[in-house]
Structure 1
Amino acid sequence: MQKDKPDNVVFSNEEGYNASLLPYATNVGAPVIKADDVAGWKNTGINKVNREFESKFNELKIQYQNLIKEFQWNELVYNARFSFEPIVGEIYHLYKDTDGFDFLSLIGPNEWNKEHVGTFRLNSDKKWIRID
């Protein structure tokens, strides 16, 4: 059984001679088709994205830790003893009493001899902000 056309000629019964329409090389003299090596590009992209995710994760972690600290300070102040209604924007001082309980006062730490825990300001959201 003999072929009508040689191997180096592109011919199909449906399309005919269509070598110029094909997206790939059709004869020995055509340029070599090489697949692009995208592994380097992928690795660079992966490393860049991973650094960005790590940076964002670290930012969120720091924000979370700061939020926990704020919560703990607010819990400490709100659980302290005080017999007055704090005014928004005023500065108050938190002390530890001789019996071990915390109490809130207007008196500054340099005005008497009590164990000073912290100085706070009440903001408009009723959140205690530590200022020292």
Structure 2
Amino acid sequence: MARQPTMAVSLVESNPQPSGLQLVNSYKTNRMGDPHDLVELATQVQKADEFTRANATNRLQTIAEQIKFLQEQARKVLVEAKRDAELHHAACNFKKIPGKIYYLYKRQSGQTYFSMLSPTEWGPTCPHEFLGAYRLEYDMSWTPSDKIQQRDDDISTIDTTIDRLLNTKEAITWAADKTKPDYQD
């Protein structure tokens, strides 16, 4: 067990006559008390220091966990942005419309391109390697076909929550109060 550093306990300086007035009996306030009182005081100061350190450590640990979470979120955003940029640069001979699903293929030359035809529509005559299906979103991001249902469910949940909030009497009252003009000078 590590040895605790020696603590210095500060006592209030005595002044027998502050501002020229004797307020208390100096004999009772300046006499030496029980030495155990000083030990107890030092123990309390040490415990307070330990609790302060523990509280700071706990709060910093929470912040560190939040930083890790945010770093992971940032990594995901960058990966998705890179994927979206690569998909936007794939060759395409038609106008892409948000909300539609497009199929990505790769030629033997290495060129990637979008097609409106799925591998099943091509059948056994599909001339190139199929890389995946993606839906173009209205914000111009791309959603892989295996994540479309999850994204739709998430958006539906958000829309339901917003509708519920906007249709409550409290939300309407709150919005009305916030939009009242303030004529006070």
Q: TM-score range by the shorter chain?
A: 0.7 to 0.9
- 2:84 is matched with which residue: 74, 88, 100? 74
2:97 corresponds to = 87
Change (3 A) 1:27 1:93: same
> Are 1:131 and 2:145 counterparts?
yes
Shift in Å, 1:98: 1.5
TM-score for the superposition, normalised by structure 1: 0.75
| Counterpart Cα distance in 2 of 1:43 and 1:11 | 37
2:133 corresponds to = 119
Give percent identity, aligned residues only: 23
1:49-80 Cα shifts (integer Å, max 9, x gaps): 12111111111111111111111111111111
Change (3 A) 1:57 1:99: same
| Counterpart Cα distance in 1 of 2:110 and 2:77 | 26
The structure with more radius of gyration: 1
| Counterpart Cα distance in 2 of 1:59 and 1:19 | 61
Greater RCO (Cα-Cα under 8 Å, separation 6 or more): 1
- C-alpha RMSD of matched pairs (Å): 2.7
| Counterpart Cα distance in 1 of 2:68 and 2:108 | 41
| Counterpart Cα distance in 2 of 1:41 and 1:19 | 36
In terms of fraction of residues, the more strand-rich structure is 1
TM-score for the superposition, normalised by structure 2: 0.55
| Counterpart Cα distance in 2 of 1:27 and 1:124 | 81
Count, aligned residues: 120
> Are 1:64 and 2:74 counterparts?
yes
- Structure 2's unaligned 5+ residue stretches are 1-14, 147-185
What is the SS of the residue equivalent to 2:91? coil
- Structure 1's unaligned 5+ residue stretches are 1-9
Deviating runs (4+, > 6 A) in structure 1?
A: none
2:152 corresponds to = none
1:18-67 Cα shifts (integer Å, max 9, x gaps): 248xxxx5323478351522221122112211211111111111111111
- The letter for the 1-side match of 2:129 is E
1:32 corresponds to = 37
- 2:22 is matched with which residue: 16, 22, 25? 16
